[in-house]
Structures are given as C-alpha cells and as structure tokens.
Chains A and B, each alone.
Chain A
Amino acid sequence: MLLWATRLRGGGSALPGLVVEKIAPSFLENCPDHFDMTVLVAGTNGKTTTTKMMRSVLESDGRQVVTNAAGSNMPRGIISAIIARMDWQGNLQADLGLFEIDEGFVGHVAKGLEPRAITVLNLLRDQLDRYGELNRTAQLIADALPHAETAILNADDPLVAELGENAAHSIYFGADEHIRSQVPHDGALHQADIHQADATGDVREMESEETDTLVRVRSAEAGESGQHLELDVAGDAWSVDLQMAGVFNAYNAAAAATLGYTLQVPGETAAKALESVAPAFGRSERIQIGEKQVTLLLVKNPAGFNQIIDTYLSGSSSSPGGSGIPTLISINDNYADGRDVSWLWDVNIEKLAGTGEFITSGIRGYDMALRLHYAEIASQTELEPEVALETLLERIPEGGEGYIVPTYTAMLQLRKLLSKYASLPEAGE
C-alpha cells in the first residue's frame, strides 16, 4: 500500500501524505525505525527559514536530510516528504528527518517521531482564530516536549524560555541586550503603548530574566543585502555573513547554530553553511524583473509585520530601502492566512507615514487601506492581484526597487504572477 502511495508523489504536494494518513494512520509512529534521528522546528515565526538554515548546516557535514517543503508543516506534509525520499522497496534514502511543524500538530508528530531535538523559535500571536489563545499554543508545544531528547529554546522569549520546565534537557540560544531589545516578545509587544507616542500613558518595562545561553548573538550589523553576525557558540566565536537582513533572522541563525553544535557539526563548516543559505520562498526573496527589483516580504502576524517595517519599509538606518519605494500590501483571509484580519490593527503601521507609495490588494485590500487611512497614509486599492502587480511595476522606475508585503496565499498568487516576468525557483527550493 505504501509503495502504491509513493507513486503519487510529486513536487511539494501533500497528496501522497494525505493518502497515507488515511490508509496507514500509524505511519509516523513507525518512522523512527527509518531515521537515525529527527529534529522538529516549532514556533510562530521563522520556521521555514530556520529549517532551511538547519538543513544547510547538517548537509555541510554530510548528513542525508529529509525535510518538508516550505509551509507544508502539517503531518501530511511531513509524510509526503518522507515518502518522496523512499525507494521502490520503501527504504528511506536519508538518515535524518528535519521538519518544520505547525503548532497544532507538534504533539502528535513528536509522539510518533520521538525526536532528537525540538527547536522552539518564538511564540507570538498568530492565527488566533485557529488556536484561540497564545497560552493554548504554548501548552500544545509544552505537551510535545517530553517526547524529545532535547529542547532547543529561545531564551529571550519568556513564553518559550518557560517551556524548559517541560523538557528532559534544554539548551538555550539568545542575543545580547542591544539586539534582544529590537525583538519585542508578545508581552512587551502589546504592553508598550505603541500607537500613542503623543499620549501621556506610561509604558511599563517588562522584566526580562537572564537565562544561560549556549549560543548568543553578540552583534548583528546590516550589510548591503544581509547582515554580518558575530555569534558566541559555547565559547567559540563564529563570524557569519548572512544573506538575510533582520534581527529575527539573526535569531533563526542562532537556532541553527545551536542545533549544529548539539549534533557535533564542526563550527567552521556550520558557519560557512549558514552563509550559503538564500532567503526562503517568499521570505525576503528578491526577484529581478528586467532592470527592476522586487522583494517579497511574507507577513502573517503583527510581530512579523513589525519586523518587516523596521527592517525594510520604515527607511530607518538599518533598512536598505527607505523613502519613496513603491510598496504593494496584499492581504488575504483564506484559511491558511487566518480568517481574522484584526491583527492589522496591532501592527505599527503609523511608522510607515512618509516612507513610500502604497498599493493595497488581496481579498481584504480595503481593510488594509482602512488601516493606512487611520494612520493618515493614503493608498490606492486594486483588489485584483494582476492589476495590483502591474500598478506596482509601473511605479518602480528603471533600476529601482519595490516591495511586496503579502499574506501567505497572497504571496503564492503574486509569486505565480511574477513568474510570468522572471524565472523563479519552485516552492521549497
């Protein structure tokens, strides 16, 4: 039966996984026999990018890694990825399974796979229409951790650091204060009175406790199209020229370095491997269209959108862009995006005043326009993706650049449309 299912396999599709899930529900539980070990990557933001970094680190050391395609992070996506690497006899052509996993399924998958490590990147409010509350999401991950040998945790996110209590063994990564302060965790994000700069309201400092970290980002300096990182990895200094900008990616790299160290990948090899990683599908992915450059900046929750604003859109010192760059914001509310678009009101949109020309699009393009309106920022709304993209490209001068800020399904739509203008790698590559 399994062999028959393997014939259904195809690039990045969850269909074979769906079939196996139905006909052999214990498939995942039998998987540990096939791998030397598995590693799971959980958290609300950065799973796809971090998984890509970890894959590069492990492959640089000669490991045969099976990993799931970008965003296919439910059990069927993982099963599909495993089947795709089986030969005709059902033998697995790999020794290590590395999977990003949706918070809702991490317990189920961890129970089946008995992972060597579960990495938890962060816990930020995301898709609350699916899981109700952030504390509930934390609980789902807490329930999964006892199934893992080691938990690799973000020390600087209090909700994640707390999870250590649930794990047999925990290792932490983090960053020095000047970097940490640029990534508000959920408590601080909403506590600070971000929209009320002119108000007299007090802003309370969140007490952050120091946790002992194995890996620590010492410095992160913006470069032309990425950043230079100095990492302290268990006392060794690593220098990494990362191809991706943004403090959040510094944390993702620290998580990958922690895994590399834990699995005994030589430091120099791992650091080089991190440098070779290009941005993942739709995540600060640059696309060249003739003389014009477009950067796709996936957003899915307030924390991620705020990071994109600080890193790219606001024109602050660390951002390569700045004033006048045409920007298309495309907001869909399909299931994969989250049905509720309320989160747009928690984003620091006010920071965009005077930074660019905005086009809004997607199913909820008018909701985005309304959000901009209340930040006193004008925009042009073109609900149809084709028209919105054409409008953006017309506004980018020859030799200039533009930004596309889409939710997940809007990103898939726009990327498909962009492939008419430029040749793009397939999803998951």
Chain B
Amino acid sequence: MKLTITHLYPAELNIYGDWGNIITLRKRLKWRGDTVEYQPIHIGDDYDFTQTDIVFGGGGQDKGQIAAADDLAERAPNIHRAVEEGVVFLTVCGTFQLFGNSFTTATGSELPGVGVFDAETAGSQERLTGNMAIQTRWGELVGFENHGGKTYLSAGQSALGRVVYGNGNNGEDRFEGAIDKNVFGTYLHGPLLPKNPHFTDELLKRAIERRGGDTALEPLDDSLAERAVEVAKQRPQ
C-alpha cells in the first residue's frame, strides 16, 4: 500500500523534536513493506488535503505560529472537507491550538483558528513545561509538554485523554488534547509517536482503513520504546 504523509509548515512549526513523529510514521510503514510519500507544505503552497492520508503539524515559536495561522485560516474549508472524508490529522502544540476556534496570544491579539476542535486557547505568561502522561482509550501516552497557551474545550468537545501527571490543556481541568473523527490534538511532544507506538499504529490503521487496506498490522519490536517510557515515567515533572 502507498500512503502519503503531509507535513504542515516544517520551516515555521518544528521546534520540539517534531521530526521524530514524521520519522516514526515513515519507518513503521516502511518496515511493514508499505510505500510512503512525504509531502511538506509551506505557507502559500497550493494543496488539497483530501488527497493525502496523514497530516502532521507541530509546534513553533510565536512568530512562526502567527504566519501559519493566516495561511491555515485560508485553507479551513478544504481542511474541513478532508476531516469529513476521514483523513488522519495529528496536531501537536501550536498546530493543535490553531485547530481550535481561536488563539488569543499573551499580548492580546487574536489569531484565527481552523475550527475543527470546539476549543479556545489563550496565551499566558506562565509556561506549562515538563514530563507528562495521559490516559486515553488506547492506553497511556507519555511525553513532554512545553506551551505558553492554555486551551479550554467546549462542553461538547471530547478530550484526547485525562492527565495522569503533568498539566495538559490548561493545568486546571485535567483534560489533555482533543479528538474529533480522525483528527487528534495534543500537547504531548517528546516527541509523541516514537515513544507511544501503539498510538502510532492506531493512526496508521485509520489511514489504511480509509484506503480499504488490511488493518491487521504486523507486530514490530517495540521493546526500546517500552523501556524509554518506563524511565520517562520516573523522571521529575
């Protein structure tokens, strides 16, 4: 099977080891004999998101995020169509924030959101930083968070999981991330996918299923990830 991985704004949003997520998606497909096409998307590029299989967007500095926000806002109708058609999106940190309704920066200016998640983010002076673990319906996910924005989900919006330790969306309500159809949002980087292969495979299964492929994925040796997670869970927050 051939799958396309689309990387949103690798130049502007790439600050916290986001390459690890791309590498992990690519290698797990390759190791199972699938073909992968990698497609970076830069600001202003023409692109139809309904054509791809998995979209990844990471975190950035404020400057990069402002540039990305305007570009994403223009793509919102096309992104909504892709979401309806079941394209898999993994949005981390800055991109997660921009997939909500709006993002108000610490200095008070409001950035438009794509509005996939029913959520609002407000910048704050306090950064939420440290090791984090969350409980999801696919088991525990472990990583590191580092964000200035605090995200609040609306009553009808599902979270990705509940915080086991760390801060999550806002450090107050114990919710972490968001999920809608095949779109995932989270503050876990660390990066998320290499350390949590069961979750990576969940994303891959959903993408393969959409193309009518076999979702019984061949098991891979994930013993190193398991050991890395064991250590991460014992480290200070």
Q: What residues of chain A have their CB less than 8 Å away from a CB belonging to chain B?
A: 125, 128-129, 132-135, 187, 190-191, 193-196, 199-202, 204, 333, 339-346, 363-364, 366-367, 369-371, 373-376, 381
Contact = CB atoms under 8 A, between A and B. Distances in A.
B146 interface: yes
A367 B228 contact: yes
Given A125-B15, A190-B11, A345 B130 contact: no
Contact of A342 (B61, B189, B228, B230): B189
A135 B63 contact: yes
B225 interface: yes
B191 A342 contact: yes
Interface string B13-51: 011111110111001000000000111101000000000
Given A132-B129, A133-B62, 19 more contacts: A128-B146, A129-B130, A134-B61, A135-B61, A190-B15, A193-B40, A196-B22, A200-B39, A201-B7, A201-B10, A339-B131, A344-B20, A345-B20, A364-B231, A366-B227, A367-B195, A367-B231, A370-B225, A374-B194
A133 B15 contact: yes
Interface in B172-202: 189-191, 194-195
Interface of B: 7, 10-11, 14-20, 22-24, 27, 37-40, 42, 61-63, 127, 129-131, 144, 146, 148, 189-191, 194-195, 224-225, 227-228, 230-232, 235-236
A135 B194 contact: no
30 contacts: A129-B129, A132-B148, A133-B15, A134-B61, A187-B11, A190-B10, A191-B10, A193-B10, A194-B19, A196-B22, A196-B38, A199-B37, A201-B39, A204-B11, A340-B129, A340-B144, A341-B190, A342-B191, A344-B20, A345-B20, A345-B23, A346-B14, A366-B227, A367-B195, A369-B224, A369-B228, A370-B228, A371-B20, A374-B23, A374-B27
A213 B236 CA distance: 45
B61 A204 contact: no
B225 A191 contact: no
Contacts of B40: 193, 201-202
Given A129-B129, A339-B235, A346 B146 contact: no
Contacts of B11: 187, 190-191, 204
Contact of B190 (A187, A193, A342, A369): A342
Counting from the closest, the 3 A-B pairs by CB-CB distance are A342-B17, A345-B20, A199-B38
Is chain B's binding surface mostly helix, strand, loop or mixed?
Answer: mixed
Nearest to A130: B129
A191 B18 CA distance: 12
Contacts of B16: 128, 340, 342
A132 B146 contact: yes
A373 B222 CA distance: 10
Contacts of B131: 339
B95 to A, nearest CB: 15
Nearest to A340: B144
Contacts of B129: 129, 132, 339-340
Contacts of B7: 201
Contact of B17 (A196, A202, A343): A343
Nearest to B228: A366
A363 B235 contact: yes
A169 B194 CA distance: 47
B10 A373 contact: no
A376 B23 CA distance: 11
B8 to A, nearest CB: 12
Nearest to A368: B228
A194 B127 CA distance: 29
B236 to A, nearest CB: 7
Interface centre among A129, A340, A342 (most CB of B within 10 A): A342
A195 to B, nearest CB: 6
Given A200-B37, A340-B144, A132 B17 contact: no
A370 B210 CA distance: 30
Contacts of A187: 11
A201 B26 CA distance: 14
Nearest to A202: B40
B230 to A, nearest CB: 8
Contacts of A341: 144, 190
Given A200-B37, A201-B38, A342-B144, A374 B24 contact: yes
Contacts of B19: 194-195, 345-346
Contact of B130 (A195, A196, A204, A339): A339
Nearest to B147: A132
Contacts of A376: 27
B15 A366 contact: no
A271 B141 CA distance: 55
A204 B42 CA distance: 10
A364 B61 contact: no
B23 A195 contact: yes
